Structure 1
Amino acid sequence: MRRLAPYASDPARSRGRLHPEPGGETRGPRDAFQRDRDRIIHSIPFRRLRHKTQVFIAPDGDHFRVRLTHSLEVAQIGRTVARALGLNEDLTEALCLAHDIGHPPFGHAGEDALQAAMAEAGGFDHNANTIRQLTLMETPYPRFAGLNLSWETLEGLAKHNGPVARVPWALAEADAAFPLDLTTWPSLEAQVAAIADDIAYDNHDIDDGLRAGLITLDDILTVPFVAESWEAVRRRYPDIEEARLYPELIREQIGRMVSDLLDETRRRVAEAAPRSADDVRTAGRALCGFSEGMADQERELKTFLYAEVYRSSPILAIQDASKAVLSRLFAAYRDDPSLMPVEWTAPTDDKVQCLRRICDFVAGMTDRYAISRHEELIGPVELPEGF
């Protein structure tokens, strides 16, 4: 067995699960974090990610990323980093695979629609909804709701972006049932998962943007970090046509980001000298991250992607159209909750609880299911072609 660093999360020292599970129900030679990962992979919310938007909504092209393929790419990067740092790979993988489970249909456009629709009921936050999905909405076990994940996995999902200053209602409910120490930093495994997410989408959104024709190579070469990476690729392959080298550019950039992340994280860990996972939580700052120089370059890349891809005219047009689909669908269920499947329609006089139940149902939809329900209940859906 591979030796873990002293500051890694150790499944033998886990804070446990909300609901005790007798040892006789443990299937196979797996530790707590391995079982968490497997429960996530086998869950319905995880399967639904294959039909949920990453950038392109209900994409016509089979080669664009969706939430599922994005999550797999994040997990690949996360495991690589965790292994190099002596961290727990299984916990890191579980966090990477589950981090986007709370996203509604149509990506951030869907989140905006639900945030507006839920104004009277506490709003909507996809990170908090991830916790809600995994602790309450998914019910594969006979004795309790949720997947009954370990404390470390829930903690990492709740605060992988750092301490939570403003706690959304869904997260507050979960925290009240199983306190997650929301004001401290998370484990290094959770910090790795957060940066692996950035590395994955920074680079695969370039790939998808080029494939979709939203940006050209000349456009992206205006970003200094990309230009430097491209020069390195061209030096290695001077006689290969440019289009064949796009994947190599993405690999070059991921490699540079990962190498910088490892060097900087090792430097911070050496400086802080944590002797346990709890020392990481009380370090007072993130111990995993890019160097100052790489952080600046990564921000420049994000600025480009927001301007040229995420806020491009074709993407904004379909986001507006899909946001309207979800808004109208939510309104239809609000006006007549009996339109939802019978298991979602238990009578209640509590308006907030009614709205939250509708939100749970709508947020769990895939893009294509939301479109089909809209067409059935309201009318045809016309989305711009191509994305």
Structure 2
Amino acid sequence: MTRAPYAADPNAHGGREFAALNRSTGESAADAPQETRGPRTDFQRDRDRIIHSMSFRRLKSKTQVFIAPDGDHYRTRLTHSIEVAQVGRVLARGLGLDEDLTEALCLAHDLGHPPFGHAGEDALSDAMARHGGFDHNAQALRTIMRLESPYPEHDGLNLTWDLLEGLAKHNGPIAAPNWALAQLDQAFPLALGTWPSLEAQIAAVSDDIAYDNHDIDDGLRAGFLDLDDLLELDFLADQWRAVERRFPNAPRDRQLRELIRDQIGLMVNDVLEHSRNAVKGFGSVAEIRDAGRQLAGFSPAMQDHERTLKSFMYEKLYYHPEQVAAASRARDVIARLFAAYSQDATLMPQRWQDALPESDPDRSRTIADFIAGMSDRFAIQSCEKIYGERPQGLINV
């Protein structure tokens, strides 16, 4: 599809925080051509740096819905991020946006999640209450701008301004950034008060589409949801009846998967139609950022359906008694780890000890960085090593 005039341009992005070095002299050379290592645009390079990062690989063992599941087919943060990227590319292509920037944003959006999902985030937020708190979105920026540092010339992955800006505010402008995002914005201003590119807006709605529907799939597989409950939602009941009419003799599990696919298709087509109408008359990405409102997303009718579905999922799945019990035990693991490292820094790996500031708030923030980077498995193992017993009751599927 032809690139839309309001698409982000990899040849006219907002630059990188750290200028390229002249490879022969080692001196800063802002105007020197970047080493390409292959015919890639700058947004493709962003995507590839994310995919090759250790933080991205660790997502394979971080909670999406179920903590440290035994089953191989439940989503993790990694598989969820890949599914978000698939939805994002479809939407970006349909709207004439930059697919590579959209994909990079989708792949990076959960890099700041600590172990055990939102339960782990709640525990870190409590532990950090006196030191500025903890937020997984700001932590994603902190991870790719400061903590994930494979290059000899600078900290972080040195991604484009457009990627960082989109990741910082893919859910909209930020009037009061927390300490982590404020520090990064001071070092490399990200225009936090404006709306981001359409690519970032599409990444946000792709996240909603993916987890709204794939969490249903996992909830059904785990037995925490059942079809009768789903059919209490009229818009899902209509889709189910259509599936039964088309495939009356298909096994129930295949019909259910067809229901999920149909629902994703409905949401994707709704976003495409609504967003195309919303961006008519816009001629540049700058105009998108200056619009003062969200332009890419669900229609009002679909937005109502999506909110109803979210409320249903919280009641039936996310706040299921077994989920609540597992989350409580997960929060205890994170709290105990934070307390242990705060009292005895020698329990941390040597490189983290060497980098640990002497006083708060930076000392506690560094400890939180270490814990936030853990996988579920590593957090459980670390707690067992420190306290002499393995945390129980975390695996509920």
Q: Out of 276, 280, 288, which is 1:280 matched to?
A: 288
1:386 Cα offset (Å): 3.1
For residues 303 and 34 of structure 2, the distance between their equivalents in structure 1, rounded to whole angstroms, comes to: 48
Q: Check whether the contact 1:61–1:386 (CA below 8 A) recurs between aligned residues.
A: no
Aligned alpha-carbon RMSD (Å): 1.0
Q: Out of 287, 296, 301, which is 2:304 matched to?
A: 296
Larger deviation, residues 348-357 vs 287-296: 348-357
Q: Out of 187, 199, 209, which is 2:219 matched to?
A: 209
Q: Out of 327, 331, 337, which is 2:335 matched to?
A: 327
SS in 2 for 1:343: helix
Q: How does 1:55-66 map to 2 (within 5 A)?
A: 55-66=65-76
For residues 357 and 253 of structure 2, the distance between their equivalents in structure 1, rounded to whole angstroms, comes to: 58
User: CA 1:24 to 1:160, structure 2 compared with 1: closer, same or farther past 3 Å?
Assistant: closer
**Structure 2: any 5+ residue segments left out of the alignment?**
21-31
For residues 384 and 34 of structure 1, the distance between their equivalents in structure 2, rounded to whole angstroms, comes to: 38
SS in 1 for 2:380: helix
Q: How does 1:140-289 map to 2 (within 5 A)?
A: 140-270=150-280, 273-289=281-297
Larger deviation, residues 220-229 vs 173-182: 220-229
The corresponding residue for 1:87 is 97
Q: Deviations over 1:72-128 (max 9, x none)?
A: 000000000000000000000000000000000000000000000001110000000
Q: Which amino acid aligns with 1:373?
A: S
SS in 1 for 2:279: helix
Q: Which amino acid aligns with 1:350?
A: S
Q: Deviations over 1:274-324 (max 9, x none)?
A: 111010001011010111110000111001000000000011110001110
Identity of aligned residues (%): 57
Q: Out of 328, 333, 336, which is 2:344 matched to?
A: 336
For residues 142 and 381 of structure 1, the distance between their equivalents in structure 2, rounded to whole angstroms, comes to: 39
User: CA 1:239 to 1:10, structure 2 compared with 1: closer, same or farther past 3 Å?
Assistant: same
1:24 Cα offset (Å): 5.3
TM-score by length of 2: 0.95
Q: Check whether the contact 1:82–1:189 (CA below 8 A) recurs between aligned residues.
A: yes
Q: Check whether the contact 1:94–1:153 (CA below 8 A) recurs between aligned residues.
A: yes
Q: Which amino acid aligns with 2:348?
A: M
1:23 Cα offset (Å): 2.2
SS in 2 for 1:12: coil
Runs of 4+ in 1 over 4 A off after TM superposition: none
Q: Check whether the contact 2:173–2:195 (CA below 8 A) recurs between aligned residues.
A: yes
Q: Out of 356, 359, 362, which is 1:353 matched to?
A: 362
For residues 351 and 293 of structure 1, the distance between their equivalents in structure 2, rounded to whole angstroms, comes to: 48
For residues 10 and 351 of structure 1, the distance between their equivalents in structure 2, rounded to whole angstroms, comes to: 42
User: CA 1:262 to 1:380, structure 2 compared with 1: closer, same or farther past 3 Å?
Assistant: same
Q: Check whether the contact 1:325–1:374 (CA below 8 A) recurs between aligned residues.
A: yes
1:384 Cα offset (Å): 4.7
User: CA 1:37 to 1:384, structure 2 compared with 1: closer, same or farther past 3 Å?
Assistant: closer
Q: Check whether the contact 1:114–1:124 (CA below 8 A) recurs between aligned residues.
A: yes
Q: Which amino acid aligns with 2:315?
A: A
For residues 55 and 253 of structure 2, the distance between their equivalents in structure 1, rounded to whole angstroms, comes to: 36
Q: Check whether the contact 2:198–2:296 (CA below 8 A) recurs between aligned residues.
A: yes
| Count of matched residue positions in the alignment of Structure 1 and Structure 2 | 384
User: CA 1:24 to 1:281, structure 2 compared with 1: closer, same or farther past 3 Å?
Assistant: closer
**Structure 1: any 5+ residue segments left out of the alignment?**
none
1:339 Cα offset (Å): 1.0
